[in-house]
Amino acid sequence: MDLQPVHGIPALRADDALVIGDLHIGLESHMRSKGFHIVSRTDDMFDRITEAAGTETKRLIVIGDVKDSVPGSTKQEYREIPNFFERLLDRFDAVDVVRGNHDTSIEEFLPGHVNLHPASGLRIGDVGFVHGHTWPSAKVMSSKVLVMGHDHPAVMFRDGVGKQTTEPCWVRGRFRDSKSDKYEILPEEFVIVPAFNRMLGGSPVNIRGEGLLGPIMGGDLLDVDNASVHLLDGIVLGKIEDLRIDGRTRQKKKYTEDVWL
């Protein structure tokens, strides 16, 4: 399966499918409860999905966290999620959802024609798809490439006067070994997908002393230090180990343009 990120949008093309994760529909309700008065951007996410899909993409795969509330659900989620997926079903021949840690009772929200998969993941050909908050199945882990969400990956920059900025990013790397105590076969590579909902911001992957989330990403199966970081516009920043920052400095790195996967 050919994997290519969509330029400028946190979405991955996988042959004739589009892969996204971490929609967190209903986030605006929680922000309003904290005093931030903003309108729903669910329609904007739908527009970006159709933009990323173009005219040839026939399948949509959502790798977890469709909804934002956990536990429970908000009126916004009940109002927006069913209609959102009805519109997606009008656009795509098939829509798949892999359950994420925020997707409690998600079956109550999804139209019947949506294919709902367990948190242990989905495998298509030589690629496995999982949210990333729990252990994937052995079948998913025997794929060549594992695609995950959950971490909302971003890279942090800090200038000489201490100003911090973050940008969402893709993370691509390799597994350390071909097998483990838990799995007889491990993927060769992994890809961590940035959150599709841009209001989430991101969790920096290059902070010294801070690890990733989840049993796969937060364990010792992945060669995180040598994983490469890619911005949404295609700029390759380099390896995570060369981008590590602490409270004072950021190591300099020459930026290059590249096509990956």
Tens of pLDDT, residue by residue over 128-158, are: 999 999 999 999 999 999 999 999 999 999 8
Beta strands in 63-126 (DSSP E): 94-98, 115-117, 122-124
Query: What residue segments make up the domains of the chain, in order of their start?
Result: 3-257
Confidence band (pLDDT; 50, 70, 90) for 253? Answer: very low
Between β-strands 235-239 and 122-124, what pairing exists: parallel, antiparallel or unpaired?
A: unpaired
- Phi and psi at 174, nearest 5°, equal -125, 155
Burial 64-91 (b: 16+ CB within 10 A, else e): bbbbbbeeebbebbeebbeebbeebbee
What are 222-235's pLDDT values in tens digits? 999 999 999 999 99
Identify residue 69 by its one-letter amino acid code: S
pLDDT at 258 (0 to 100): 46
- For residue 256, pLDDT over 70 is answered with no
Give the tens place of pLDDT for each residue, 53-105.
998 899 999 999 999 988 888 899 999 999 999 999 999 999 999 999 999 89
DSSP one-letter string for 241-252: HHH-B-SS-B--
Alpha-carbon Rg for the chain in angstroms: 18
Average pLDDT value over all residues in the chain: 91
Structure tokens at 209: 């002393």
Report field, pTM of the whole predicted structure over 0.85: yes
